[in-house]
């Protein structure tokens, strides 16, 4: 493994990386931004990384930010993997999307509609749980309601 060079200054594209690190529509963009910010040991970068450890819905992003903070010598707690809902109220979102589609819709149609309606929910669950989990969840959503 090659030794990573860590700079004690802000990158030229700091504002762009800061936005990417907080972009809710793409966990991959957040992950990439965290990796890039990990090359710069400054208080602003440490603040962003601490925020990702504490608040990112995708564990992979939290884990990478945690690893970098440890490399920087920061005292940081291990992020806990969320046991239930990655995003609060997501099950209601899944139900609303499924109900809005024809009864014979496909999983791909469900994903497309979910991306259009709540890309943040789609992205978080795709990154945290994966497409197989989403497909299983979609298959098990009961759209018949007794509340009508």
pLDDT digits over 56-103, tens only?
Answer: 999 999 999 999 999 999 999 999 887 778 888 999 999 999 999 999
Q: State residue 3's pLDDT score.
A: 52
Q: State residue 94's pLDDT score.
A: 95
| Residue 4 clears pLDDT 90, i.e. is over it | no
Angle at 102 between CA 27 and CA 134, to 5 degrees: 30
pTM, full prediction: 0.76
pLDDT digits over 117-134, tens only?
Answer: 999 999 999 998 999 999
> CA 132 to CA 42: how far, in whole Å?
39
> CA 116 to CA 74: how far, in whole Å?
39
Mean pLDDT over each residue of the chain, to the nearest integer: 89
């Amino acid at each position: 493994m090659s030794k990573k060079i860590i700079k004690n200054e802000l990158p030229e594209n700091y504002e762009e990386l800061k936005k990417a690190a907080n972009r809710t529509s793409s966990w991959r963009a957040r992950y990439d931004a965290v990796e890039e910010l990990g090359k710069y040991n400054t208080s602003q970068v440490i603040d962003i990384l601490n925020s990702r450890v504490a608040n990112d819905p995708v564990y992979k992003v939290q884990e990478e930010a945690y690893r970098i903070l440890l490399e920087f010598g920061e005292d940081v707690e291990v992020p806990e993997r969320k046991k239930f809902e990655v995003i609060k109220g997501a099950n209601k979102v899944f139900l609303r999307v499924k109900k809005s589609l024809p009864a014979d819709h496909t999983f791909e149609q469900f994903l497309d509609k979910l991306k259009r309606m709540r890309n943040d929910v789609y992205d978080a669950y795709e990154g945290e749980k994966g497409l197989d989990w989403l497909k299983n969840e979609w298959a098990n959503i009961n759209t018949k309601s007794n509340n009508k």
